[in-house]
Structure 1
Amino acid sequence: METTTYDYDYDNYSDDPATLVAPCNRDVDNYVGAQLSVLYYFMFLFSLFGNGLVLTIIYRFEKMTTVTNILLLNLVMSSLIFMSSLPFLGVYMQLSNWIFGKVMCKIVGTVYYLGFYSSVLFLTLLTFDRHLAVVYSLSTSRIRNQSYAFVSCFVVWLISSLACIKPIILHTTFSNYINNNTYCQEYPGDYPSIDVSQLRISGFYLQLLLFFLFPLTIIVYSYIRIAITVISSKLVTRFKTVKLVFIIVLLFFICWTPFNIVLLIHNGSANCEQAQRRSYALHITRNFAYIYFCISPIFYTFVGKKFQTYFQQLIMKHFPQLKKYFRSSQYSQTNTSTKSTPY
């Protein structure tokens, strides 16, 4: 994951304007980032609607006593926490100037990373728990209880909060004496009594290992085991389930891998041209990673037949004229299922 929110070039920053060296001109790639940041508002609204719908269905039809619902609720909360920072970041990227003050800079930066880290871990935890439920359904039935769910959620929030220490320390506002703009990101200079360089390096590898490689390994392993179990169980709907598993893993790869590859290619000093190329790539791949945050809680929820039924009941209650359509759709699905031959 990205160690700084934005990619403005302040390697030559100095508190003394007399010794300030002219920075690399990043107007073009920052302009591209500003245009793409318009998507942040749509992501925020879509996430607000989608996650709100998930919360409504859980509140109306489900009980908060099952492990899946507890984990899903925390995933929705972490996704909403992360998405709440995007409107502020969208304004920031479009203006290339932070207008919300130093306190809000700290708050938005902390919310951004807390939501980012916790969403990754809750996605991983939810996937691993689904793997336990499918592959070891009987042997783990006693372990998968409310205590297990609450302890797991507490550990995720604790790890995510500890991982935010670096951005909390380094994330602040500072001014550029050349264009008189105020920026809100990791301070490019040094702090007294803090090894900033070592802190940045350790933060980068923490994000790479704990919030990308580890989740990727767990998710791929879990879904491979789920696919093997479903195929070997000879269920009628096995092919649809395996196809769904493949789509989930593929989405994770598409949305997350390019972003982390770009970060891994270069993490340190670079000349102006290299920094510009990297910035273009980050602007594009970052948006793919954010899209996964938008769709993941909804995707994990509505793949289940039970939640699809709840959604239809909710729609029919508020739009009675659609009852005929949903009933005909249910009849068609039932008829198709009846004609299917077992394998």
Structure 2
Amino acid sequence: KLSIEVWFVRIGQYLKIWNLRETVQCNTIAINNFCQHFLPPFYYVIFIASVLGNGVVLLVLYKFEKLNTVTNIFLMNLVASNLIFTLTLPFQAVHHSDQWIFGEALCKLVTGADYLGFYSSILFLTLMTFDRYLAVVHCVVANKRRRSCYAVVLSAVVWIISVLASLQPFIHFTVEEYPMEGLVCEDSSDAQWRVFSLYKQFVLFFILPLTAFVYCYFRITLTVLATRMVGKHRTVWLIFVIVLMFFAFWSPYNIIMMINENQDPTQCNSSLLYAQYVTSNIARLYFCINPVLYTFLGRKFQNHVRGVLVSQVPCLSDRISVSASSRTLAKD
């Protein structure tokens, strides 16, 4: 029987062999051109979509919902974390279109905000998933303990954990100047610290949230199917979509990062670098618009949005059906 250490060594060797089959010498000019042409427009599109989408969520919450409920407290914190992340995108767009022109202090601050928004979004999504699990599977206990103070305390804990996990940029990120790229805001930490940061992100902000997602929604699905709830098949379908979106948007980036970490450092795989840029920005897209995806999946939120549209554009009233409560609240 082989020991665990031997298995890990062999897995690392297989990953290196797999990477070397596709390895070519890095064409830094082509990669830089790709970043200059692809990333800035993509960042601006995400920025606009995130501001508009999260703005609609906040508008609907303010006009139609009680802001002191547990679900809405978590949702507002999720929107706040996404907006923090979103505000870093114009800086990233300028950086990739030319060079970093904002100085070292903003290099640390913008990168730290990027990490803070990223990590807090994941944790708030996990927290909302666990809260739904309590509300559905353990509804008796949840009705006694789910109070606004409970949501405020847990939200504060999430922010503290996210801040602590985001301290790395303030310590290690700096601005360096290169002949071709110019000024670059980059991580100056050593290899061991980078490996630690990578595995910290992989375990704490991917494996654990994904495990919580799968377990909680699996239990929710079983509970819903066991009841006589009207429209339970639609509820199960929405649960499947939520889990699938998280896995589809967030897992490719983590997988690529782990493969990249296990490749030979003396070699360079251009395809892997392209994949890393693309998958990281797919993940950015998800964490900018996830409140919109979550809320628009619900019928109540859809009805509220229709109420806002009808109140602002009366000619749509013949084509859009709105409940009386949403119509009345939209007018107030």
Structure 2 gap ranges (5+)? 1-24, 324-332
Q: Which residue of 2 aligns with 1:186?
A: 187
Q: Which residue of 1 aligns with 2:292?
A: 298
Q: 1:62 pairs with 52, 62, 65, which one?
A: 65
Task: Give the deviation of 1:234 after TM superposition.
Answer: 2.6
SS across alignment from 1:208? helix
Task: Give the deviation of 1:204 after TM superposition.
Answer: 1.3
C-alpha contact (below 8 Å) 2:85/2:288 kept by paired residues: no
Q: 2:31 pairs with 21, 29, 37, which one?
A: 29
Task: Give the deviation of 1:164 after TM superposition.
Answer: 1.1
Q: Which residue of 2 aligns with 1:257?
A: 251
Alpha-carbon separation, structure 1, partners of 2:241 and 2:180: 47
Q: 1:51 pairs with 54, 66, 81, which one?
A: 54
Structure 1 gap ranges (5+)? 1-22, 189-195, 331-343
Which protein is richer in helix relative to its size? 2
Alpha-carbon separation, structure 2, partners of 1:104 and 1:235: 52
SS across alignment from 1:107? helix
Alpha-carbon separation, structure 2, partners of 1:109 and 1:293: 16
Q: Which residue of 2 aligns with 1:221?
A: 215
Task: Give the deviation of 1:272 after TM superposition.
Answer: 4.3
Alpha-carbon separation, structure 2, partners of 1:30 and 1:118: 30
Q: Which residue of 2 aligns with 1:144?
A: 146
Which residues in structure 2 correspond to 1:99-248 (within 5 Å)? 99-176=101-178, 178-179=179-180, 181-187=182-188, 196-248=190-242
SS across alignment from 1:142? helix
Q: Which moved more, 1:31-40 or 1:117-126?
A: 31-40
Q: Which moved more, 1:230-239 or 1:156-165?
A: 230-239
Alpha-carbon separation, structure 1, partners of 2:38 and 2:213: 29
Alpha-carbon separation, structure 2, partners of 1:152 and 1:159: 11
Q: Percent identity?
A: 42
Alpha-carbon separation, structure 1, partners of 2:285 and 2:194: 26
Alpha-carbon separation, structure 1, partners of 2:266 and 2:271: 10
Alpha-carbon separation, structure 1, partners of 2:89 and 2:31: 19
Distance 1:180 1:122, change over 3 A: closer
Q: Which residue of 1 aligns with 2:44?
A: 41
Alpha-carbon separation, structure 2, partners of 1:206 and 1:26: 29
Distance 1:180 1:261, change over 3 A: closer
Q: Which residue of 2 aligns with 1:271?
A: 266
Residue 75 of structure 2 corresponds to residue 81 of structure 1: no
Deviations 1:292-339 (A, max 9, x none): 113310121122222222211111111111111113x87xxxxxxxxx
Q: Which residue of 1 aligns with 2:316?
A: 322
Which residues in structure 2 correspond to 1:6-25 (within 5 Å)? 25=27
Q: Which residue of 2 aligns with 1:20?
A: none
- Runs of 4 or more above 6 Å deviation: none
Task: Give the deviation of 1:82 after TM superposition.
Answer: 0.5
Alpha-carbon separation, structure 1, partners of 2:166 and 2:251: 22
Alpha-carbon separation, structure 1, partners of 2:181 and 2:159: 38
Alpha-carbon separation, structure 2, partners of 1:27 and 1:124: 40
Letter in 2 for 1:166: Q
Alpha-carbon separation, structure 2, partners of 1:180 and 1:49: 33
Task: Give the TM-score, by structure 1 length.
Answer: 0.82
Letter in 2 for 1:270: P
Deviations 1:140-189 (A, max 9, x none): 1111111210111011100000011212111111112x33711101126x
Q: Which moved more, 1:44-53 or 1:86-95?
A: 86-95
Deviations 1:47-76 (A, max 9, x none): 000000111111112122110000000000
Aligned residues: 298
C-alpha contact (below 8 Å) 1:48/1:80 kept by paired residues: yes
SS across alignment from 1:139? helix
C-alpha contact (below 8 Å) 1:166/1:199 kept by paired residues: no
SS across alignment from 1:173? strand
Task: Give the deviation of 1:245 after TM superposition.
Answer: 1.0
Letter in 2 for 1:290: R
